[in-house]
Each structure stands twice: as C-alpha cells, then as structure tokens.
A and B are shown apart, each in its own frame.
Chain A
Amino acid sequence: MIRQITVWLQSISPEVLTKALRVSLTILIGLFVVRVLAVVTQRFIMRKSTAQRQMIARKIISYAGFFLVLMGVLSELGLKLTALLGAAGIVGIAVGFASQTSVSNIISGLFLISEKPFGVGDVIRIGTTTGIIQSIDLLSIKIRTFDNLFVRIPNEKILSSEVTNITRFPIRRMDIVFQVDYDQDLNKVHELLAEVARDNPWSLDEPVPAIIFSDFKESGIEVLLGLWFAKSDFMELKNSIMKDISSLFASEGVRFAHPNRLVKIVEGSAATS
C-alpha cells in the first residue's frame, strides 16, 4: 500500500505538486485571513455597535471572503474566470427561476435589515409565536421562544405578516380586564384599584394608571386596569398585581362577576302547563 502511494507520488509531475501546494496555501491562508478579519471587525472595529450590526458585518465579510478565496483557487487551477462568471450568470438566472422562494426571502431579508423593525435580542410576536430574536439572516430569522424552542421564520413571511416588537420601547402598559357584579359600588372599586396600583412596587405612578369601566356585559360591568411598567418588570408586575387585586377585593367584599343565568318559571304559562 505504502509502495503504491510512493509510486503514485513519484509519477506526479513537479508542476502539479506546486499547483496543489499553492491551492492548499490559498485556501488555508485565505480562510484564516477571512476569519481574522471577521473577528477583528466584530470585536474591535464594531465593538460599540449593536449585536445585529456586528452579525451583519461578520456575515458580509465571511461571504465576500469565501467568494474571493474560491475565485483565487479557481484561478490557481487555471480556469478562466471571465468564462466562468459568464456561465455563472446563465446558471444564476436558471437557479433564480428555480428558487423564487429563496430569492424572495433574500430580498425580504435585505428589506428587513434596512428597515430595522427589530434587532437581535428584541422580543417579538409573529402570529402565535413569541420569543427572543437570536439572529437575522438573509433567508430567515431565528427565534428562541420562552419555553426554549428554536423557531425559524422565513423573511418573506415576516415581511407580509404583522410583527409586534414587544421590547422596542422602554415602558409598556399591561391591561387587566375583568368584570364585577352589577350590584357593586363602582366608586369603591375605583378607589381599590387605585390603591392596588399605588402600592404595587412594579407599577409606575407616571404615566398614571388607567381605570376604565368599559362596558356593560352579560354578567357584570367590565373594568379595565391599565398599568405602566418598565419592560423588564413584566413577570413581577403580572404575578403581583393579580394577587393584589384578588386579595384586596376579597378583604373588601368586592365580588367578581361570574357567568350566570336567572331562570324564572312563570306559573300557568304555556311552558309549564
């Protein structure tokens, strides 16, 4: 076996060996330089930029670098690049027709990157999916949901869907809607809700909490309590405010409305006779 390899190596001309060595060096040095450039750009030159911009810059450098290395290798192998590029154009058109969805995703990705409706680290909601953006790529965005699932959403779908960026602004309002019985004193309900909002440590006192008696419903009067909070305090406020309302209403004798039906049986009516 070793003898066969030795014979095979001896049969290769020095020109071929030199070419192979040059190709190997082009690949190794080229990829190393591309890698170093990407890392230096991300960690030093764009240190103060957002994670999203760093990621885009790294990908542009990587893709462009790989392309140049590939061109260099092909040139070393003696292929005429002009003819190759011409052929690549024809092949590209054919591939483009065959992969319209991918091209659409790429163009959508470019629009998303330029429009910047969200960035890496933002929490967004698309349809029924809510999660933290992990990366924004040319074809898709990757999301990690709060139950730790990995979701890939094609850019084309994002561009044509309603996207809610939950963490875009520093404060948000949490709306809590419930119903109280019709026989409750609404002034008292208002006072109690104001007290709950005032005493809760996560609720902002400015902007002022909204307390609105919004509708007459089938079983009771609908109340909306809108509390402003810093976006990082969502869970703390959500949990504490529900407990606060429930315990204060219980201690003050305020009753939530439950669905109920009042059935009256009229003596002598057609139904009973």
Chain B
Amino acid sequence: MQKTGIAVWDQVEIAQRQCAAWRFPFRSIWVERIESEWHALSLPETGKRSEARSMFIPRTQKPESSRWRHYLHRESGLVQPTPVLPDRPIVVRPDRALTLLPGQSTIFFLEIPVWFRLSTVGPRAARIFEEPLCVLTRTWFGDPVTGELCWGLAARLHHSIDSVETSAWIAVCPLMIENDSDTDLDFEKICLHVENLSVFRGTLRLWANSLNVIFKGPDQATQIEIVHTPPGFEQGLTMVGAARQPAAGWNIRKTFGMLKYFTDF
C-alpha cells in the first residue's frame, strides 16, 4: 500500500503484525494489528508536508511512544478510514472583513479540516478511534450563559472553487448566503453546525453538504437549509462520512456573531 491524495481514504487490509501509517500535514496516524488487538498512535506533525500519504511500514520503523492505545476487537484485518467533520460547531473567522449589502446574495467555499475515523469492516464492524487531522482552537459562540462551545477556524473565504487547493484532509463546504434584511451583513464570525453535515468524496477533494443561509436581521435567528444531495460542483460524488447528528432540511439558529458580549471587566 502506497497511496497519496484522496486515495488515502481507500479500504486497507492490515495483516497480522503489520503496521500501516497515514501521514497528513499536521497529524500522522499509525495502526498495527496484533492478534485481536488494534494498536493505534496519533502524533502531531509540523505541517511541512503538504500531501496526504498512506503506506505500510516495517514494524521496526514504527514510532516508540507511550501514547500507543490498544483496542480489543475480533474482526478481520480490513479497515476503512473515513473522513468525518468535527464533533462540535465551527466558528469561522474570515481572513478579511466583508459586508454583504441588503438584498444581495453570494456563495463562499469554506475549507474545513476533517477528522480521521478508522473502523473495521465486516459483520462485526466497529469504530476503532477518531482523531482530528488539524487541531483547532476552542472558542465560544454567543453570550457566556446561553452560547455554545465550538471549534475556532480562521479561514479564507473563497468565491470560486478554482482558488481552493485540492486536499485530502479538507472538506469544502459551499455556503450560499442571502441577506434578506434591510441592514448590512458584516462577516465577523460564522457559526456552522458541521456535526449536521456529511462528507462526500470526489476525485481530487472532499466535499461537505451545501448550506443555504438566509440572514433575516441582527435581532433574528438565521434560517439555514442543509442541502442533503451531494454538492453540484463536482459529478459522481459519493458519501463517505455520514453526519454525526443528521438534521432536518431547514433549521433556525443564531449563525452570525456581531454583538460584543459583556465578558470583560
């Protein structure tokens, strides 16, 4: 096994006493199978490597670490790595100040780092473990009493998919925003409930469900529609990572953060 790019998400057969590795820019994952135990190790990387790779490595070259975790599961050696979206909402902080004027709409392509989930394949299929491939900051969205704990992500807002680099560890989420209010919509923070979104596999990149967001005004919650079909920006997409918490088509939530809450002295 020596795979690069999107092919790192292919099924892999790990034989007894064999060690497989998945190397991503900010995270490397090693998995070894010994008898009915799966040994897994996740270590941070420096980010110097840009491409995702997976390979078998000689057992003598596996990293020595006290952080190896052992999972007991009697299943054959076929495993399925799956990209899934983070387990909490994400607060996206755009890299530049943008204002959407009243009555206008636009589309953005957001890059969301995925988590690596490894599951066994077979009649007794089970999830072995999950690891984020890029550690995001912890952040809070909303006021200190009723807000919610989220992951923070500083991101570039792409207007075109052509400017988004292909990556095997980032899912692209098309975000259609309509300002249906009579006030300007300033993008300071956008809270996306990515635990409601699925991941689709394309030929070169991963995709998440498209989102249609209708902004009704600063004092009102925002209408959000999750488009459950694969995004139409690439043909032949297949769903690989189901949503952690599937949601109904329409949802009303607070999405845009513009108010300064009293959290200081």
CA–CA, A204 and B263, complex, Å: 12
A230: interface (CB < 8 Å): yes
Stretch at the interface among B23-31, B62-70, B144-152, B237-245: B144-152
Partner of B263, one of A207, A212, A229: A207
Chain A residues near B (Cβ < 8 Å): 169-171, 173, 198, 201-208, 210, 212, 228-230
Given contacts A170-B147, A201-B135, contact A206 B140 (CB under 8 A): yes
Cα A173 to Cα B263 with chains together (Å) = 9
B152–A170 touching, CB < 8 Å: no
Q: How far is the CB of B120 from chain A (nearest CB, A)?
A: 30
Contacts of A169 in B (CB 8 A): 144-145
Smallest Cβ distance from B199 to chain A, in angstroms?
24
Who on chain B is nearest to A203 by CB?
Answer: B138
Does B137 reach chain A (CB closer than 8 Å)? yes
> A201 touching B138 by the CB < 8 A rule?
yes
Judging by beta carbons under 8 Å apart, are A228 and B264 in contact?
Answer: no
Pairwise interchain contact B145-A228, C-beta atoms closer than 8 A: no
Q: List 24 A-B contacts (CB under 8 A).
A: A169-B144, A169-B145, A170-B145, A170-B148, A170-B149, A171-B140, A171-B144, A171-B147, A173-B263, A198-B137, A202-B138, A203-B138, A204-B137, A204-B140, A206-B140, A206-B152, A206-B189, A207-B140, A207-B261, A207-B263, A210-B265, A229-B138, A230-B138, A230-B149
Decide: A205 and B137 in contact? CB cutoff 8 A.
yes
Taking the complex as formed, is B141 at the interface, i.e. its CB lies under 8 A from any CB of chain A?
A: yes
CB of A204 within 8 A of CB of B264, answer no
Tell me the bound Cα distance from A205 to B265 in angstroms.
Answer: 17
- With an 8 A cutoff between CB atoms, is B79 at the interface? no
Please name all residues of chain B whose beta carbon is closer than 8 Å to the beta carbon of A170 when the two chains form the complex. 144-145, 147-149
Q: Are B152 and A205 in contact (CB under 8 A)?
A: yes
User: Which of A171, A173, A210 has the most chain B CB within a 10 Å cutoff?
Assistant: A171
Residues of B within 8 A of A198 (CB): 137
Q: Does B91 contact A (CB under 8 A)?
A: yes
Q: Does B229 lie at the interface of the complex (its beta carbon under 8 Å from any beta carbon of A)?
A: no
Q: Give 7 nearest A-B pairs by CB, closest first.
A: A207-B263, A206-B139, A205-B137, A205-B139, A204-B138, A204-B140, A206-B140
Q: Chain B residues near A171 (CB, 8 Å)?
A: 140, 144, 147, 149
Contacts of B152 in A (CB 8 A): 205-206
CA distance A173 to B144 in the complex (A): 10
A204: chain B residues at CB < 8 Å are: 137-140
* Shortest distance between the CB of B188 and any CB in chain A (Å): 11
